[in-house]
Structures are given as structure tokens and as C-alpha cells.
Structure 1
Amino acid sequence: MEERTFGAVMQELRKGKGLSQEELAFRSGLDRTYISLLERGLRVPTIATLFKVSAALDIRPEEFIARMNVQYQNENHGAA
């Protein structure tokens, strides 16, 4: 499920930056509960969400997507 992949990458990046869900929510202009739902794969992110979260995490959207691709491949085909 792509929602889980988005959430896993977002959570990894957020924790790597030492941010709480609340701080990421503040920086991205999104609600903290929405951040939590995204991380758990319970909401489908929009392209606007991708851009907001990427900006808040100081990463280019295309890099975020590239990380999602790696995560998705690892989840579905095992780590190489």
C-alpha cells in the first residue's frame, strides 16, 4: 500500500531531523492528527501534502518520492 510507504518515509525523515509530529505539523501547516494518520498509512496524501511535508522536512519532493520507491521495493521484494 502506497499510503504506508509514504508514512514510513515521512516518519523516518521526521525522526532523522529530530522533529515531533507536532513540530512537523506546525512547519507544514497541517494538523498533527493528520500527520499521525499519514504516518500510520490511514490517509492518502495529496500532491499538495507531499510538497508541504517535503518543504517542512527540507527535502525536494522528487527525493521524497525516490525514497518512497526504495522503501516500496524493499517492502515488496525484500531488501537487496
Structure 2
Amino acid sequence: MYHCAQTSSRQDKPKKNQREGAKPRDKIAMESFPCNGWLHITMNDLEDVAWVKISHSDDHVPYYSIDVPPDIM
């Protein structure tokens, strides 16, 4: 079971950067939405079949990486 990375119901509060020597700043959080995005995949070892169920009830901006690029670190 997977959820949309931007669903607001699964977002955690911002955490302090844990890298050694890093300044104690909050990480930037990505914008979240009430999209209820889920992907369920069910497989059976006895059959060559996979059941896939996807739900996503709200459009939102495309996902993008919020990590700091290595050359900037």
C-alpha cells in the first residue's frame, strides 16, 4: 500500500535537520493537499495475477524533489 507523497492526511510536522554540523533549521515542507491518494497492490503467490486499486480525489501541483542538490550542500 502506497500513499500520495502530497496527501495532507499523511504529512508530518517539519523536522530539524539531523546532519552532523548542520544548523538547527526546519526543513522546508512540500505543499500538501486533501487528495486522499492511495495505491493498493494485492498479489497472490498461487496465481499470476495482481489486483491494483488506485484512488486520487483531488488534482494538485506535480510532485517535485525538495532535497538540496549535492553541489549546493
TM over 0.5, shorter chain: no
Q: Which has the higher contact order (CA 8 A, sep 6+)?
A: 1
Give the TM-score, by structure 2 length.
0.23
Kindly indicate which of the two structures has a greater share of residues assigned to helix.
1
TM-score under structure 1 normalisation?
0.22
Bigger Rg, which one? 2
Q: Higher strand proportion, which one? A: 2
